[in-house]
Structure 1
């Protein structure tokens, strides 16, 4: 348990940051799931629109340190390949 004032403040800051990170991660996963569902439905236009909405959220999560930059790039790349393949 935190004893000093600075340690108590650090605990408060960590709690706030954790809740923000959890919210962003959840939102990102929701949008990625929407892309997956659009791909599964076989609708290229919906899949492209869903990817267009999901990509900025993934890259922003990478900028904020929620996921690694390379992880975000890899996921975007793989989703993009699947959307392009669907359009062909």
Structure 2
């Protein structure tokens, strides 16, 4: 257990940041799954734009790595194009 005041504060702030990051990652996963589960042309455009924007925002903030963000966006784009062409 921490003894110094600054170490105790670091424990509190780290826990807050951990929860915020977990929430953001959960939102990304949810949006990602929604887009991949959608096969309707009307819905997918809106969901796709939201998901890409969310991924970009969290990538810039450092919540997810930029290569991870690129990989997710590429997979979403492939699915999006497949739905539009079919």
Per the alignment, residue 25 of structure 1 pairs with 25
User: How far is the alpha carbon of 1:21 from its aligned partner?
Assistant: 0.6
- Greater mean alpha carbon deviation, residues 6-15 or residues 46-55: 46-55
The TM-score normalised by the length of structure 1 is: 0.88
2:16 equivalent to 1:16: yes
Q: Report the secondary structure of 1:11's partner residue.
A: helix
Count of paired positions: 85
Q: Which runs of 5+ in 1 are unaligned?
A: none
Per the alignment, residue 69 of structure 1 pairs with 66
The TM-score normalised by the length of structure 2 is: 0.89
Find runs of 4+ consecutive structure 1 residues off by over 3 angstroms: none
Per the alignment, residue 43 of structure 1 pairs with 40
1:36-63 alpha-carbon deviations (Å, 9 max, x no partner): 111xxx2123122111111111112212
Aligned-residue CA RMSD (Å):
1.1
User: How far is the alpha carbon of 1:30 from its aligned partner?
Assistant: 1.0
User: How far is the alpha carbon of 1:7 from its aligned partner?
Assistant: 0.4
For 1:7 and 1:14, the matched residues in 2 are separated by: 10
